[in-house]
Amino acid sequence: MASSSFSSGPGATIIWFRQDLRLQDNPALAAALKNGGAVLPVYILDPASETDWPAGGASRWWLHHSLASLDATLRERGSRLLLAQGESGAVLRALLTQTGATAVYWNRRYEPASIAGDKALKADLTSAGIDAKSFNASLLFEPHTVQNKSGGPFQVFTPFWRHCLALPVDTPVKLPAGDFTALTKWPASFELADLKLLPTIKWDTGLAAAWVPGEAAALKRLKQFTAGAMADYAEQRNRPDTAGTSALSPYLHFGEIGPRQIWAAVRALSKDSGVFPANRGGQVFLSEVGWREFAYHLLFHFPQTPGEPLRKEFAAFPWRKDARQLLAWQKGRTGYPIVDAGLRQLWATGWMHNRVRMIVASFLVKHLRISWQEGAAWFWDTLVDADLASNTLGWQWTAGCGADAAPYFRIFNPFLQGAKFDPEGNYVRRWVPELARMPAEFIHLPWEAPMDVLAAAGVTLGRDYPHPLVDHGEARVAALAALESIRRSRP
């Protein structure tokens, strides 16, 4: 950053971008523009704010391309994105001094560390005479505004979402037309490459083939989904062999689109019917948005849960440590095709179908009895939509140790899950190509295929594809015994 001070004129506002990398429905940006002065858009890469959960490799890849997209969009409006690196408060104070800006606006984040940091920063800036304001851009309903009848947090999704559906949802904030008022002189900015977000070893070709980060791509995906697959979403969302989901999760995480925009898009399809949502697909789709809301509700009220089970008895669960089996799971070499397909899809594209996420997570915590924290850490590093709230909810739900969790004794059978949700084996064939020639009858349990079937498919178990890492029946018995051990240990 340049050390010399200069003035940009009265009333300049710094708009501090974080996980709201869009122009539309961005209340902090809209408020900054409404002030009428110059606007300085800034993004700060602040490693200190991510001490416990530094962004994983896939998330950093997405962030790089999302920042490039945001800068391009800002340039279309006569502005640009200033990039900085360092402790956020120090960077903002330096920019205030350099530019003479009188206000800093941002949109809120809801991770525990962010809440504490924002509160301290706002108090510090306000005491210095700076107009410091924060807004909600990432949730339909802020966690502190939703309470059960006892005045406390919800811990079961159905009553939580029923309560939310009775609340008003704000209309997306419209961006004023025209160019932004820019600074007459810009502070020095890092180049995007200086942030070193991209991998040094080029493992990211699959991500680039699968995704186009940015606000424009998010809006395009939403439009395509609501005009097409959403009608059959209730029936198709559990099928990984079809394009039946919205795949909006990474765009939501990085704030390239907001939930209010999704809500409004679904509502627009309901005008003629008078029913909201207009069809079952829309209802189920919005309930999935509701699960994201629920995840943030839980993280806000139970900030310890990214590392600790909400149900405290699970702190005594006898998890196993097995580096060899954990690595086999991570690399998609468990011998269970639907599990391996999901983990290979994750490694290649930074994303995994939600039904398959449940299957692979269940396999780790129940078949291998390796802790959910290990699984959460792997997902955190490899998912482009790695989100602290949703990741925590998903893994604690599967492990049976969180709010509204699946009971631990519910143990998915990988073969039955594969046969039900990938009946022709097309998903497995795509991601486990060594099994591509296996007939559908045996593709989810190749260890039971006759030798002539395996030979015709060109598969030798143990050479081309591994034997199952564990026996399903034996693993189930061991998992239930482990559950019983913590039940007996309760006071």
Which residues are part of the catalytic machinery?
288, 291, 319, 354, 372, 395
Give me the sheet containing 131-135, strands edge to edge.
Answer: 82-85, 39-45, 13-17, 103-107, 131-135
Alpha carbon of residue 264 to chain centroid: 21
